[in-house]
């Protein structure tokens, strides 16, 4: 998985989090498969199509925080992730 400080694409734009679909019991194979990019100041009350319940790994960039809910529309239990 990339280090939190490395969440910068080639053009230098800041990325706050990366969510990955593929799952593996081996750490070096966890951050693989389809990637969902979370940009700074994003507010997404619903997961994109085919992502609900699919994220298996995530990396949160420095100076960012990712808040997730257990139910759609920002309902249910919440959890906060940071680098």
- For the chain, give every domain's residue range: 17-82
Answer yes or no: is pLDDT of 78 > 90. yes
Q: Determine the Cα–Cα distance for residues 37 and 35; give it in Å rounded to an integer.
A: 6
Q: Determine the Cα–Cα distance for residues 57 and 20; give it in Å rounded to an integer.
A: 5
- pLDDT average, residue stretch 75-82: 94
Answer yes or no: is pLDDT of 73 > 80. yes
Q: Determine the Cα–Cα distance for residues 19 and 2; give it in Å rounded to an integer.
A: 11
- pLDDT average, residue stretch 72-78: 90
Between residues 80 and 8, the one the model is more confident about: 80
pLDDT digits (tens, 9 = 90+) for 6-62: 887 667 778 999 999 887 777 777 888 899 999 888 998 888 888 888 888 899 998
């Amino acid at each position: 998985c990339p280090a939190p400080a490395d969440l910068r694409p080639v053009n230098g734009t800041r990325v706050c989090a990366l969510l990955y679909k593929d799952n593996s019991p081996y750490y070096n194979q966890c951050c693989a498969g389809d990637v969902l990019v979370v940009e700074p100041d994003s507010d997404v009350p619903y997961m994109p199509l085919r992502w609900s319940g699919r994220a298996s790994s995530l990396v949160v960039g420095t100076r960012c925080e990712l808040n997730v809910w257990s139910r759609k529309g920002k309902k249910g239990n919440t959890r906060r992730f940071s680098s």
